[in-house]
Amino acid sequence: MRAALLVTLVLVLAWPSRLRSVYGGKIVKTLPGFDGPLPFELETGYISVDDQDVVNLFYYFIKSERNPADDPVLYWIDGGPGCSALNGLAIELGPLRFDSENYNGEGLPRLLYWEESWTKVSSIVFVDWPAGTGFSYTKANPEDQWSDTKALEYLHVFIRKWFLEHPEFLSNPFYVSGESYGGKMLPIVTQEIMNGQETGAQPVLNLKGFLVGNPITFDKKYDEGTKVEFSHGMGLISDELYEDTKRSCGGEFVFPRNLRCKKCLDAMEKNLAGLHPDFILDKECGIDSPNPKRPAATDRFLISLKTDSLFLHQLRQKRCREYAYLLSKSWADNPIVQEALGVSKEWAGPWIRCNRYMKSVYSFDIPSAVPYYFNISLKGLRGLVYSGDHDLRANFFGTQAWIRSFHFPIVDDWRSWRVDGQVAGYTRTYAPGLTFATVKGAGHMAFVYKPQECRVMFERWISGLEL
């Protein structure tokens, strides 16, 4: 909390100089790999978020395909930290998809128009954060930017600068949104925006709420301490192991309190071995991003994506989701694509979908997002927190637990929500305007697994309707 307060004071004092230098965007009408002109409006560009134009964050902005003059504007914070915003644009909720079904490993992957995009009813700003992610860059040591407090500071500056460059959207309803580790940064950034509004930061934003999918709070009590309940509820551990673990651990599942507790937790982890943490029904096919714990040869391949037709063929034959991730690497690391997107010549590359090295040295210096979710909910913002119910990484038991810890009154109790007459998940709404929802049969990035259901959920909620 103290760190966030210091950041707020710095931002308030620095706004006049911070807001002077803004890079203009580029309107992109065609993209390599996409047949014909884009059927939506895409702008890309850089915004400098410091006084000396040293730190430059790259963004993709897609106008609503319905009514951009009035529709909400979403600011999307991807996960990681260190995962590119291209995830949101072309793998998750945006209007493009890589044609992984028909790619044979030669040339650029094709891009297809995605009908289930959330840009059907809202404009979305996707940003590569922090510097060193995607096409964002810094002229200084990038590791100096790799911390929660630096990310918070620069994300806040980015938002206000972006709106100065796009004043026509200042009156639109504005929502901060994200997923995974973006779920930690989201409530902190939102609180900084609200603090800035109260202290006279410009421009004034029409902030209405927030929405987040499968959020990681970085609070071990909820992120890790609920894996036992989730594992038992999903039938991944036996009744006997569950009861033994509860007895021996006394409800404390993060740090084993005795030898018997440790043995039980080790037995649970053994049962979970081989499951995909993002989606327990998925195949474990391999790794999609560099990781310091893997052999250097593997990481060199993933960074450069030298064509290995056998490897790509194996991923494709297994119908592995990692295949599409590798296609994004092949596409974004192409100089023709970078020219089309307006990537700065000062960006050094290579493009990496998720920079795992960054995560290994990143300073997680804000301990928990849970108090920030409480604060912004109390201040009257609308909120939607949704969870794919087959996600082990940020399981829905933990998300429900930290929401319940707020002790908000329930105004719409647990019930199913439906799409085309079928149960799509379950939902509950609390008095300040906070809605929790599960997405049945989905994983960590829920919209990847259940795109139609997630689009319908979003469209209902953003329109003020019941799920």
**Residues 24-44: tens digit of each pLDDT:** 689 999 999 999 999 999 999
Residue that is written with structure tokens 């307060």 in the block: 5
Residue with tokens 């913002």: 381
| H/E element, 386 | strand 382-388
**Cβ neighbours of residue 187 under 8 Å, at least 6 residues apart?**
210, 369, 372, 373, 375, 376
pLDDT at 291: 43
Report the percent of the chain where pLDDT is more than 90. Answer: 74
Rg of the chain's alpha carbons, rounded to an integer? 22
Active-site residue identified among 156, 276, 390, 444: 444
Look up tokens 């840009």; give the residue. 119
Third-level CATH fold of 2-220+366-462: Rossmann fold (3.40.50)
| Model pLDDT for residues 63-118, shown as the tens digit of each residue | 999 999 999 999 999 999 999 999 999 999 999 999 988 887 778 999 999 999 99
Question: What does the buried/exposed string (b/e) look like for 367-397 if buried means 16 or more CB atoms within 10 Å of the residue's CB?
Answer: ebbbbbbbbbbeeebbbbbbbbbbbbbbbbb
Q: What is the DSSP-derived secondary structure letter of residue 268?
A: H
Active site residue 391: yes
Catalytic residue flag (residue 180): yes
Confidence bin at 312 (pLDDT 50/70/90)? low
| Residues 122-145 pLDDT 10s | 999 999 999 999 999 999 988 888
Higher pLDDT, 181 or 251: 181
pLDDT on residue 6: 39
Q: Residue 301: what pLDDT?
A: 37
Q: Kindly state the greatest CA–CA separation across the chain.
A: 64
368 is catalytic: no
Mean pLDDT of the chain: 88
Buried-exposed string 250-261: b where 16+ CB fall within 10 A, e elsewhere: eeebbebeeeeb
**Which of the residue ranges 181-190, 274-283, 309-318, 366-375 would you say has the lowest mean pLDDT?**
309-318
Domain residue spans in the chain? 2-220+366-462
Can you tell me the distance from the alpha carbon of 29 to that of 37, in angstroms, rounded to the nearest whole number? 6
Catalytic residue among 180, 328, 368, 387: 180
What does DSSP say about strands 123-127 and 55-62: parallel, antiparallel, or unpaired? Answer: antiparallel
